[in-house]
Amino acid sequence: MNDENKHEPQKQAVDEEVAREMEGVPEHLRSDSDEADGEDKALEEALSKLRGDLETAMQDVLYARAETQNVRRRLEKDVQDARNYGATSFARDILSVADNLSRALDHVPEELRESDKAKNFIAGIEATMRELDKVFNANGITRIAAKGMPLDPNQHQAMMEIPTAEAEPGTIVQEMQAGYMIKDRLLRPAMVGVAKKPD
């Protein structure tokens, strides 16, 4: 047996082993290296593009999530404002009823207050005023302090200046119409007269 024939079984065994190993390798990797390098670059570019697309999609999801949270917060605030301030228009209208009841009490002559019939009538108006104040308080409507306070343009509307030495200039000395707040918002400013130095 010559040397070539002697090594033939070993060569055949190695060839079979290589063939088995190459079965799992894709065809493009079995070809020459230049072609494989070109395909590797193409794969790398495609992978890079996919990574960029994924990053863009993730950013879009984050922006959409943030926008959704902002919309939800705005809606919650709108609902809360509707609860707190939905009755503002009605409250303004009902203030004139409170004003008229107050004026009615203020203008009852002293001699009528002493008669039994007038006492019952006055007690009825006072009870109505107390009930109205109770309803106002239950709905967050509060009267603005005015007389003796310094003028606050956010809550008071100065209607006139009154010369007086009894109060500091800028102090409210007369309230012509009561002002009211609804929760933390101005419902109606108090109409007031403000002290000024006498001439």
**pLDDT tens across 134-169, in order?**
999 998 999 999 999 999 999 999 999 999 988 899
Answer yes or no: is pLDDT of 106 > 60: yes
How many whole angstroms separate alpha carbon 76 and alpha carbon 144? 29
Contact in structure between 151 and 192 (CB atoms under 8 Å):
yes
Answer yes or no: is pLDDT of 2 > 80: no
Reading the block at residue 4, the tokens are 């070539």
| CATH topology assigned to domain 141-199 | Nucleotide Exchange Factor Grpe; Chain A, domain 2 (2.30.22)
Query: 11-25, 114-128, 183-197: which has the highest mean pLDDT?
Result: 183-197
So what's the pLDDT on residue 29? 54
Reading the block at residue 56, the tokens are 């863009």
pTM above 0.85, yes or no: no
Helix (H, G, I), strand (E, B) or coil at 143: strand
**pLDDT tens across 47-92, in order?**
889 999 999 999 999 999 999 999 999 999 999 888 888 888 888 8
- Residues recorded for the chain: 199
Answer yes or no: is pLDDT of 124 > 80: yes
